Chains A and B, each alone.
Chain A
Amino acid sequence: MRIKKSESGSAASAALLALLQVTMVVVTVYIFAAKLYSPPAPITDIGRAVDEQYSLTLWVTAVVFVLSQLGIAYAVWRFRDHGQRAHFSRGNNTMEFIWTTATIILFLGLGILGRRAWAEVRFTPPAADAVQVEVTENQFVFNFRYPGPDGKFGRLDPKQISASTGNPLGIDSKDPAGKDDIVVPTLTVPVNRQVELHVTSQDVIHNIFVRELRLQQDAVPGLVVPIHFTAEKIGQYEIVCTQLCGLGHSRMHSYLNVVSDADYQAFLKSGGQ
């Protein structure tokens, strides 16, 4: 049984496929380019670097995307069966070499250019006078601990964990350094000062993510992972957990409050109000 070689059938499918490809490209490019859906503006220097890397990547992928998808549209229309004989070719080594080299340069170049935005947060050590905050997550709350006036975090004892009596982290009552620790459910930091977060978890893996910081970090039990940032804009920003942590995963929610230095001092003095 031979396949039908009706010219009109071939043209209809070719036209529809080409049209759909073109439509898909136009809609996609428009919505990406117009940034109809985007995160809020970053509030850190590194956040801006992340956005630059994102934009660069978007440009590179846009070029490849448009060329390939429109290429498909063109090819299916132009080379639809209308009675011609196909052009026999096993390939073209020169073209292979050219587009392979171009792709290597483009993709690896992108990767190498993105190094700074990653390195500055993760490789470079924090400033010596960075504000220190411990982030301890559990099912399904965020706890933020400040060392208090003595600048020292008190020792933790899992046996003394008791959320109901106001000691969710289990600060050891026998350790004097822990007496002035401040434990609160939202993160308050001073503007324009570097903050170092020590991120961990008490039970399963969680995560802390703030879009405006362009920063997230998994909270892993048994590990304390340091990350740092310097927020440049006063305001309140939502904190979410992005790592599946149980039935309350979508309910884990907190706030990053970036406040003036005066307000931050008042926050510390009042023990976290």
Chain B
Amino acid sequence: MSSHAHGAHAAHAMEAPTGFIRKYIFSVDHKVIGIQYFLLALTAVLVGIVLSVLMRLHLVWPNMHLPFVPGGLMTQEQYLSLVTMHGTIMVFFVLTTAPQGGFGNYFLPIQIGAPDMAFPRLNMLSFWVTFLAFIAILAAFVVPGGAPISGWTGYTPLSGLGEVTGPGEGWGQTMWIISISLFCLASLLGALNFIATLIDMRAPGMSLFRMPLTCWGWFVTAILGLLAFGVLLAGGILLLLDRSAGTSFFIPAGLVVNDQIQPHSGGSPLLWQHLFWFFGHPEVYIAILPGMGVASHVLSTFARKPVFGYRAMAMAMCAIGFLGFMVWGHHMFVSGMSPYSGFAFSVLTMSIGVPSAIKTFNWLGTLWGGKIQFTTPMLFAIGFVSLFVSGGLSGLFLAQPAVDNLLHATYYVVAHFHLVMGVAAIFGIFAATYFWFPKMFGRMMNEPLGKVHFWFTFVGAYCIFMPMHWVGIAGGIRRYADASAVQYLQPLQPVHQFMSIAAFVTATAQILFLINFFWSLKSGPKASKNPWNATTLEWITDSPPPHDNFGGHFPSVYRGPYDFSVPGVKEDFVPQNLPPQDVKREKE
């Protein structure tokens, strides 16, 4: 497909919309949709942070009257509903929304030289279904019985029998299932779009191995999403049927809850776990892979050096994605699943450490010998690597079932996944935001404010989550509303106090980001096309880009994405679209 014919076709399909509604609300422009996803994630993360602050307040000051809590003093079930909603909102509406739906939507087409996604109307549908899903999860707070208490993992039978197992398990759990199911649907549609776009709409010269690593990240993530979300959707439907249609996919016979024998038989609680985690494990790679792509991209740009081992990085992402489908049982070592499967899952899980280690060494290699410029996006990218190492290594303990006997369901697990998801992946989002803000909004963010935001968040994150490992090793159990019933938990309270205070300070520091973001939208200095002297295609067009991304001048690509400091070349960067004859050489 020649670029001219493609461009003409695209131009016909992509007439710029007029009117406020078509331009900003029901838009088919991937750039608008990307920003909509980003703003949705921003709203969700603020809700999620409030929930976690309430949790941390309750854990150290259980007798404090709290805002937002009906009745003032938090009850056990209110705490558990916070746990459930915090996890659900953060994992789905922040970590699966901003990196892929937000930045992926905005920048995948531009980085590959395309005018839009393959299916712009499907793209718009994906966003609005995600938006509906967000409304549905928020609705869980206000329906009769309140929000569910079964955790973001929703294990059955706790989640499968209705209100009889606990408060929030009636309408709240139903809204949870509806929300997640809508989210799955939207994500499946999005994944299709990403894959079709990436395979079919790359500019001339943009071979797969000339794509920026950000695109590789979005690519592997989309494949994971396509294969995993369907399973959760199926599981959600089966759970809904168990709760309302008298089926028993997940409920065995003879259960007695509150002295009532439950009218179910033949089902398996472990089946839910298998379905959930078959989705759940790829899901966490969906959360981190785009961030890995961004980290590589930003590290290279501000070290003024090619990514060390570009091909290995791309292949490592594919390996992580592939292996990510084979390890779900490591969440189920003590579940009653066959211990032989446990051993198999363990070996596979330890193997995932290998491509992750390769990526870590290559990030270090990218920095090594560089000319490092400590802009805000660079600080967050370096922070990403540090946090990913810390969080990833604790996974090695959890991957071994013998050690898992001690650490399963303790705060060690909570520390692990927060470091990799709740901080490293978030740092990926921050790095992306500070890096691409000039391109998206045509203005620069404030550098000093950005740096202060980084220092507070980096130190704060380590202060919150490193001590959490120690609580876990000592036997601190997760999802406990309070420690009063267990004697051995009492000496751990000072650590909880330290973590809570660190959490309050870190949460407050995020205000610096909000101020910077919204102030810069209006009053930041105007941005040029390429303020960072970067090499990839998004930096050859205006900030912000025109409706068709390139103003009719669709680029061709002549080289890979990270040609920085090439020997013999005058500038320390060579854009991908610059023909070889136009590259200015150094005088002899």
Interchain CB contact under 8 A, A81 and B385? no
Alpha-carbon gap, A193 to B449, bound state (A): 65
Contact flags A37-61 to B (C-beta < 8 A → 1, else 0): 1111000000001100110011011
Is A214's CB within 8 Å of the partner chain B?
A: yes
Is B129's CB within 8 Å of the partner chain A?
A: no
Alpha-carbon gap, A241 to B474, bound state (A): 15
Alpha-carbon gap, A223 to B271, bound state (A): 12
B175-208 contacts to A (CB < 8 Å):
none
Interchain CB contact under 8 A, B269 and A222? yes
B450-499 contacts to A (CB < 8 Å):
451, 455, 458-459, 462, 466, 469-471, 473-475, 477-488, 492, 495
Is A260's CB within 8 Å of the partner chain B?
A: no
Stretch binding the partner chain, chosen from A89-97, A173-181, A183-191 = A89-97
Interchain CB contact under 8 A, B303 and A96? no
Interchain CB contact under 8 A, A68 and B402? no
What B residues does A138 contact at CB under 8 A?
Answer: 256
Classify chain B's interface size.
35 or more
Interchain CB contact under 8 A, B155 and A103? no
Alpha-carbon gap, A14 to B165, bound state (A): 54
What B residues does A75 contact at CB under 8 A?
Answer: 364, 367-368, 370, 372
Interchain CB contact under 8 A, A107 and B354? yes
Interchain CB contact under 8 A, B351 and A81? no
What A residues does B165 contact at CB under 8 A?
Answer: 139, 203-204, 246
Is B369's CB within 8 Å of the partner chain A?
A: yes
Interchain CB contact under 8 A, A72 and B373? no
Interface centre among B77, B157, B371, B567, by most chain A C-beta atoms within 10 angstroms, is: B371
From A1, A32, A203, contact of B157 by CB (8 A): A203
Is A265's CB within 8 Å of the partner chain B?
A: no
Classify chain A's interface size.
35 or more
Contact flags A200-219 to B (C-beta < 8 A → 1, else 0): 00111101010100111110
What A residues does B156 contact at CB under 8 A?
Answer: 204-205
Stretch binding the partner chain, chosen from A17-25, A126-134, A145-153 = A17-25
* Min distance, Cβ A205 to any Cβ of chain B, angstroms: 6
Alpha-carbon gap, A53 to B407, bound state (A): 13
Is B312's CB within 8 Å of the partner chain A?
A: yes
Alpha-carbon gap, A249 to B351, bound state (A): 34
Interchain CB contact under 8 A, A242 and B477? yes
Alpha-carbon gap, A222 to B271, bound state (A): 12
What A residues does B368 contact at CB under 8 A?
Answer: 75, 79
Alpha-carbon gap, A100 to B353, bound state (A): 10
What B residues does A266 contact at CB under 8 A?
Answer: none
Q: Check A249/B406 contact, CB under 8 A, given A79-B372, A122-B339, A139-B165.
A: no
Interchain CB contact under 8 A, B347 and A111? yes
What A residues does B487 contact at CB under 8 A?
Answer: 238
Is A192's CB within 8 Å of the partner chain B?
A: no
Alpha-carbon gap, A241 to B567, bound state (A): 62
Interchain CB contact under 8 A, B357 and A79? no
Interface centre among B259, B335, B564, by most chain A C-beta atoms within 10 angstroms, is: B335
From B151, B253, B306, B528, contact of A88 by CB (8 A): B306
B401 nearest CB neighbor, chain A only: A118
Contact flags A99-136 to B (C-beta < 8 A → 1, else 0): 11001100110111011111101110000000000000
From B151, B336, B373, B471, contact of A223 by CB (8 A): B336
Interchain CB contact under 8 A, A247 and B400? no
Alpha-carbon gap, A27 to B458, bound state (A): 15
Interchain CB contact under 8 A, A61 and B396? yes
* Min distance, Cβ A161 to any Cβ of chain B, angstroms: 5
Is B3's CB within 8 Å of the partner chain A?
A: no
What A residues does B540 contact at CB under 8 A?
Answer: none
B448 nearest CB neighbor, chain A only: A9
Q: Check A107/B403 contact, CB under 8 A, given A81-B371, A223-B336.
A: no
What B residues does A252 contact at CB under 8 A?
Answer: 485
* Min distance, Cβ B529 to any Cβ of chain A, angstroms: 10
Alpha-carbon gap, A47 to B87, bound state (A): 32
B298-351 contacts to A (CB < 8 Å):
303-306, 308-312, 334-336, 339-340, 342-343, 346-347, 349-351
* Min distance, Cβ A229 to any Cβ of chain B, angstroms: 11
What B residues does A5 contact at CB under 8 A?
Answer: 373
Interface centre among B339, B354, B474, B528, by most chain A C-beta atoms within 10 angstroms, is: B354
* Min distance, Cβ A125 to any Cβ of chain B, angstroms: 12
Interchain CB contact under 8 A, B76 and A247? yes
Interchain CB contact under 8 A, A247 and B334? no
What B residues does A162 contact at CB under 8 A?
Answer: 259
What A residues does B75 contact at CB under 8 A?
Answer: 247
* Min distance, Cβ A192 to any Cβ of chain B, angstroms: 21
Interchain CB contact under 8 A, B406 and A211? yes
Is B424's CB within 8 Å of the partner chain A?
A: no
Alpha-carbon gap, A112 to B349, bound state (A): 12
Is A262's CB within 8 Å of the partner chain B?
A: no
Is B270's CB within 8 Å of the partner chain A?
A: yes
* Min distance, Cβ B475 to any Cβ of chain A, angstroms: 5
Question: Which 10 A-B residue pairs are closest in the complex by CB-CB distance?
Answer: A222-B252, A117-B402, A87-B369, A122-B339, A13-B374, A37-B470, A91-B309, A242-B409, A250-B480, A86-B565
27 A-B residue contacts at CB 8 Å?
A1-B527, A1-B531, A3-B533, A21-B386, A24-B386, A32-B469, A39-B473, A50-B405, A68-B389, A72-B367, A76-B372, A79-B371, A85-B371, A85-B565, A88-B567, A99-B361, A100-B358, A104-B351, A108-B351, A117-B403, A215-B405, A220-B270, A221-B157, A223-B270, A246-B165, A247-B76, A250-B482
Could you tell me which B residues sit within 8 Å of A by CB distance? 75-77, 80, 149-151, 155-158, 161, 165-167, 252-259, 261, 267-270, 303-306, 308-312, 334-336, 339-340, 342-343, 346-347, 349-351, 353-354, 357-358, 360-362, 364-365, 367-375, 379, 382, 385-386, 389-390, 393-394, 396-397, 399-403, 405-406, 408-410, 444, 447, 451, 455, 458-459, 462, 466, 469-471, 473-475, 477-488, 492, 495, 525, 527-528, 531-533, 564-567, 572
